[in-house]
Amino acid sequence: MTDCALPANSRIVVSMLRAEKSFTFIDLFAGIGGLRRGFESIGGRCVFTSEWDRFSRETYEANFHDNREVEGDIRPFAETPELIPEHDVLLAGFPCQPFSIAGVSKKNALGRPHGFLCDTQGTLFFDTAQIIAHHRPTAFLLENVKNLESHDGGKTFATIMHVLTQELGYHVSTRVISSEHWVPQRRKRIFIVGFRDKSSFDINKLKLPEDEGPTLGSILEHDVDSKYTLTPHLWKYLQDYAAKHARAGNGFGCSVFGPDDVTRTLSARYYKDGSEILVSQGEGKIPRRLTPRECARLMGYPDSHKIPVSDTQAYRQFGNSVVVPAVKFIARNMKRHIYAAVDAERPEAAPIRKVTRPDRQAAEAHG
Q: Name the β-bridge partners of 126.
A: none
Cβ distance 294 to 285 under 8 Å?
Answer: no
3-class state of residue 91 by DSSP = strand
- DSSP states along 92-122: E---SGGGSHHHHHHHHHTT---GGG-TTTT
Counted residue by residue, the chain has a size of 367
Torsion of CA 292, 62, 191, 114, to 10 degrees: 80
The active-site residue, picked from 46, 96, 118, 295, is 96
Residue 261 and residue 217 in contact, taking contact as beta carbons nearer than 8 Å: no
Is 96 a known active-site residue? Answer: yes
**Among 365, 338, 323, CA closest to 190:** 323
Residue of 125, 117, 59 lying closest to 96 (CA atoms) = 125
* Residue numbers annotated as active site: 96
